[in-house]
Homo-oligomer: A and B are copies of this chain.
């Protein structure tokens, strides 16, 4: 949520924008490695994983922005089941 506030500010502040970009790329890398870590090398080796990951990552970010105005419990977010199913569909179905 704090990150979202920085991003909104960065839209109209070029210096802040330039300062944030490398950090955001670094965070992106950390999240990517964490997800790859818990899926494991077999699943992430699937040719479909490269297509799945950007959708999963943006969907999680898009769902998180909803929490700005809608106070739901993230632990029971209805997207959790959808994301798990999506991983299964992409990586285990053929």
- Using a CB–CB cutoff of 8 Å, the interface residues on chain A facing chain B are 1, 4-5, 7-8, 10-11, 17, 20-21, 24, 51, 54-55, 57-66, 68-70, 78-79, 82-83, 85-86, 89-90, 93
The quantity of this chain's copies bound in the complex is 2
The answer to whether B10 touches A51 (Cβ under 8 A) is: no
Q: Are B70 and A21 touching (Cβ within 8 A)?
A: yes
Give the distance in Å from the alpha carbon of A39 to the alpha carbon of B91 in the complex. Answer: 25
18 other contacts beyond A21-B69, A58-B63, with CB at 8 A cut-off? A4-B7, A4-B8, A8-B68, A10-B68, A11-B69, A51-B86, A54-B78, A54-B79, A55-B59, A55-B82, A55-B86, A57-B62, A58-B58, A58-B60, A58-B62, A60-B62, A62-B62, A89-B89
